[in-house]
Every structure is written in structure tokens, then in C-alpha cells.
Structure 1
């Protein structure tokens, strides 16, 4: 079981909030736990930052009636009030007594809040109260201790809050304290309660927790179960939504001579404009083979185009060879810009496993490698990438060009880790299921199959398309084909949301 590593908190800017920082990460480097002040006054830029950070759950620790809680699109907000006092959150008092009250009287609520953090395993959780100091500080400390973060790091994070308060904010708080606690010694106690987060306080809390077996034992005694405790200790993210831009069969050079209308390189150059027009934000760019038609000298141009597209989308690139390709020569001519296969690339919590089927099958050595990858204790949900589909085409003339040893591939896949298979080769779009796993065969960027020519022929016509595959957390898959037609006259253009139907005339009576 992986445990959290000691990594210092990272201060972040949330426009409209303060005291914001990332305090825990997943093992892939994405934020796991964030703390801040209340989000009631978050600006649009602040909301965009929540999205960028991958926040999927917000835990609001405030009492009913404290300010005006907000809901944010696509983010679940969970209210876990800690005090449950008729007068609301304490405005005056001694800092130590506040923590003593929460730990002794509100253990169940603390366990609920930490359990909510544990339940969110596919995104970041943001915890806040009003200032993000005491209630937030205690919940975050308990969660970090359960994650295995060293005690000194927990203490340091707690003490950071006091240093993060601006002078203007301190003055505002002091003015409010003058109204809430005008007399001594209550005034001095309240200043300490509202403005300080001494390391000695969190050290004392940690010592107290250790006397009862630690934070985990304390929370379990108040309702946190072993399953949630295990989730806290595991730093791997749960399978999340995965978006793939999938192109195939570029066939660079196929347009020379007999096929002047075919230009896969030109189509590749156009993919970026379609992706940006559709506001696509893929996690990865995949190309499933046949980079060239015959001319190996075109490999550098194709690979340059693929890398350029990946850079414009700010995503990693996954490439496998097709039956028209010599991948060793491609690697040589591009100075090793393509990986030696088989190869694994981890993207967004998924293992992309690249196989060479350029001879029509997957070699035995690759199958051995695949079994080993899928049975590795560190294995993530997997996406297989190869040129030949294990599912045959509907076209009789293509019936014999599916993967020759699909049965052996299926046997190697029996671990249950594979979530998706990506392929090409057919020059027509197709989706199927193989051994219970979805298979997506992308259309070509060079030319398309003419589907009506009969069983004895293969005929192709100009056309270029690509796929966008979106695999969701629950296993649901949405596949969209994006055609890129030649520049023909546009039939009509209307404003989005309007109708192309003739308007109904309403006669006055």
C-alpha cells in the first residue's frame, strides 16, 4: 500500500478566498487535499482555478447561517457543521478550549468530515470553514495523519495559517474582536483564538492523539471504518473520466500519382483547428498506425506533425505502427522520437499499453509482456493500443484482415484490468466489444472505404475523420466521429440553439 510522502504545502491563489494551499497529492502529482477560507466571494477566476485544480468535492465545516454557502457546477458540496451550538460558531474564548471541545464532543463529526475526504478518490477535496484556521486545521491534520504524513509536516502546515494573514485582514479581525470582547482577559484570549495558530498547539493535539493510539484509532472509535481508512492511506487515484483524441491511417504519400485528392498530412494539420473549435480537452493523442503509405522518407514529416498536434493540445502522444510501417526504420529516421515497442505510458491514471501488430498479429513475446503488465501489483486501468482490431469489419472484403491471433490477445487480457482497445486499419469507423471490453476502430485521415462495392472489392474515396473517445468513471463510453470534409459549399449556418425549420406563422384573431 502506498502512503503519502512528505511534501511541503503549496500555496495557491484562489481569487476571492485566502489561506489556500494544497496539502496532499496523489502519486501522479495531482492535488488530493486543499484547504482554504470560505468560498462565498470566489470570483470567476477563482472558480476556474477550482476546475483547473481538479476539485470535485468541497467540505464546508461552518454552522447554518454562517455567511452564504455557494454551489459550483460539477463540484459536490458536503456540509459538515462541527460545533452544533445554538449561538453558532464561537466568537470569543480560549484557543485550547475550542480544540478540546471539538475533539471530546464532536468526534463523530470529525470522523464524518475525514470520511468524506476518503470517499473522494478521483479528484481533489477542498476543506474550508470561515477563515480556514481552526475547524479546517483540525480536520486537515487528522486526515494528513491518517494518510501517513509525518507529524512535523502536519504541525508546520497548521502553523502556516498565522503567517498567511495579511496586515489588513488582521486589522479587520482586531476591530471585530474589540466589539465581541472589549474587556480583558477575554480580549487577549480571543485575539489568540482568532489570529494565532501556534505550532505548540498542534504538537499538543498530536501528543493527545498518540495517547489514544493515534489519529486513525481516534477516528475509528468515532465511526470511521477500515475501508475509508484504507482509502486515505492509498495515494492512487480512482479511474476517472478519460478523453482521447484518436486518429489513424495517415498514409503520408498515398496521394502521389494515382490519388491526387489524398493528403493525410494535410488532414493531420487540420485536426488541431477542429479540436480547438470543439473545445476538446483530451488527456492524450493516439495514432493507431499506417503513418506512411510507402515512402519511408516521410516519417520525419509525419512524426513532426503528430508531435506538433500533441503540443498544441498540451497532451502526451501515443503511436503504434500499421502494416504499411517499418517502426524500426521510423525510429531511426526520427532519431528515436518514437518508443520501442511494446511500451507502457501512464496517462491520467491509466496505463496505455502499446503493441506492434504490423505483421497482422501480436508476437508471443509481446503477449508475455502484456500479461506481466496487466498482473503487476502497480497496474492501473489499461488501454490497449494496436493497429489491427480483434473485432472483424462488417465488410466481407475485410473479413480476413482483423488481428490474426485475437484469441491469444483475449487470453492475455483476462485480468480484468483492460478498459478499452484502440485500433485502426479498416479505413471506416467501427465500435465493438471484445471479451467484454469496448473496441474503437478510428477512421482514416487519408481516405475512406466505399462500403457498397461488394465482397470482391476494396474501393476507397476521399475523406478524413478522427475519433474522440470519452471513458467515464462508471465505465460508460462515448465515442464521437469528427468528419473533416473537403471545402465544399456550406448548405446553411444558423445560430446554435435555433431551428432550421420554417417558422410557424401565428395568425391574429
Structure 2
């Protein structure tokens, strides 16, 4: 099955090609149920050479990307765990879209090493795919940080994030099938905060604003996570509109 919520942010967030060239960075949900020939064909057509898996170890299965790895694509684990004590506590108090945006920043702040690994992988040659479970939260915040570093306007980053809304029914169906016990249980579904079941524009607007006001912007935040200036320069060079894929 082809990847759900698979897209190139450059095509929609920067249609004029002013900040990022198409084909450098992709985003998606995790494979449902695991990567197969359709997934391989999809990634080959996009020249994806690296997959960055943002899920925690508990969410992963060795079979998830086996078919893709067999073709020579590198899968990089950059574990951002939404079940850590601090992050899980914030999740339980979430009531609105602004809380979701603050939750995104907390997840990133609690996983600086994973953020750095993900950005380093994104700077590799060829197309790079970022994904988590739904391709909405962890994928959304990393994509936003990277687009912001390139100077993509906030309104376009927010609009790209919100586009996941259209794919959510298919995403949740895939997650429910994969995690039948947890997500098909009525009590479990009711325990999921409502904002996590949507992709509200306000959440991404809040996240970007908090990154700016608390950390001085995405580049400064990524540097604090351990991303080197050389890595950011490599990412900018790779994604520059005039860059040629190598």
C-alpha cells in the first residue's frame, strides 16, 4: 500500500520555488501495515534515499521498512517518545489547539538528540522522508522547523501542516487496524485529547510563535538541540531552489 499523507511540502508551501526546491523533503504517515512494493515504487519515483522514523521504539516493528531497506534506502531512527513522563503529563491537560502547539514544542525540547539526528539526516543527498505514526505531530513540528530555517513564510508552513486534516480518516483507520486493542477500545479513544485528533492551524501557529519567542527562532532552537552550523548550511545548500539533486 502506498504511504498515506505522503507529500512534498515544497510543492504546496512554496509553489513559486523561492525558498525550497521540490524533491528534497517529503512527509508522510507510517506504512500501513508495512512497506510493500507499492511503497517501494512510490519512494523510488520520488528519489527518496533516506527515511527518518520519528516514532518511539514501542511504536516500531522491524518489518515496517524492511522492503524499502532491501532496495538500499537508509532508515534513520530519530526517536521522539510521546509517552515520556513529562510529555504524557502535558498531553493529559491538553484542551485546545494552542495547547497542542505548546505540546509540540515540549516534545521537541524533551528530545534534542532525536531532533538533531533528524535534521542531520534531512541534510543528506537525495530526497528525505520524515514520518511518525500519523505524519501530523512529530512530523509536523520537524517539517515546520526545517521550512522555517529556509525562510518559508509562517502562513505557508501552517497551511502545509493543516493539509493533513484531509488524510486523518484514512490515517486513523490504519492506526486502529495496527493497534486494535488500544485504539478500538472505547475508553482508550475517549482518553485521547480532542486536539490530537485534528490538525488545527492554530496549533502550528502557536508552535512557531513559541519557537520564536522562547528560543529566538528555528535556527537557534536547532543549534541548542545540537545541530551544527555545518549541518544547517548543508541542508540549505541541498534544498536551495537552484540546487540540482545529486
Using structure 2 for the length normalisation, give the TM-score. Answer: 0.76
* Count of matched residue positions in the alignment of Structure 1 and Structure 2: 217
CA distance 1:228–1:130, shift in 2 (3 Å): same
Residues 467-497 of structure 1 deviation map (CA, whole Å, 9 limit, x = unaligned): xxxxxxxxxxxxxxxxxxxxxxxxxxxxxxx
Aligned to 1:214: 217
The structure richer in strand per residue is: 1
CA distance 1:98–1:177, shift in 2 (3 Å): farther
Cα separation, 2, equivalents of 1:105 and 1:168: 26
Aligned to 2:202: 200
Residues 210-229 of structure 1 deviation map (CA, whole Å, 9 limit, x = unaligned): 22321001111221111111
Cα separation, 2, equivalents of 1:232 and 1:137: 18
Structure-to-structure mapping, 1:50-69, within 5 angstroms: 50-68=43-61, 69=64
Residues 259-285 of structure 1 deviation map (CA, whole Å, 9 limit, x = unaligned): xxxxxxxxxxxxxxxxxxxxxxxxxxx
Cα separation, 1, equivalents of 2:88 and 2:134: 13
> How far is 1:86 from its partner?
6.1
Aligned to 2:184: 176
Aligned to 1:78: 76
Structure 1 vs Structure 2 CA RMSD: 3.1
Determine whether 1:138 maps to 2:137: no
Say which SS state the counterpart of residue 24 (structure 1) adopts: helix
The structure richer in helix per residue is: 2
Cα separation, 1, equivalents of 2:46 and 2:175: 30
Select the structure with the greater relative contact order (CA < 8 A; seq sep ≥ 6).
Answer: 2
- Structure 1 residue aligned with 2:158, among 148, 155, 159? 155
CA distance 1:90–1:16, shift in 2 (3 Å): farther
List gaps (5 residues or longer) in structure 1: 1-14, 241-509
Cα separation, 2, equivalents of 1:153 and 1:24: 10
> How far is 1:96 from its partner?
4.6
Say which SS state the counterpart of residue 138 (structure 1) adopts: helix
Say which SS state the counterpart of residue 58 (structure 1) adopts: strand
Determine whether 1:106 maps to 2:104: no
Cα separation, 1, equivalents of 2:201 and 2:158: 6
Cα separation, 2, equivalents of 1:190 and 1:158: 19
Aligned to 1:299: none
> How far is 1:128 from its partner?
0.5
Say which SS state the counterpart of residue 203 (structure 1) adopts: helix
Aligned to 1:392: none
- Structure 2 residue aligned with 1:42, among 12, 35, 38? 35
CA distance 1:237–1:203, shift in 2 (3 Å): same
Aligned to 2:23: 31
> How far is 1:177 from its partner?
6.4
> How far is 1:164 from its partner?
2.0
Cα separation, 2, equivalents of 1:177 and 1:90: 19
Say which SS state the counterpart of residue 65 (structure 1) adopts: helix
Residues 10-60 of structure 1 deviation map (CA, whole Å, 9 limit, x = unaligned): xxxxx3421111113799965111100112523312211211110000000
Cα separation, 1, equivalents of 2:171 and 2:113: 36
CA distance 1:98–1:64, shift in 2 (3 Å): same
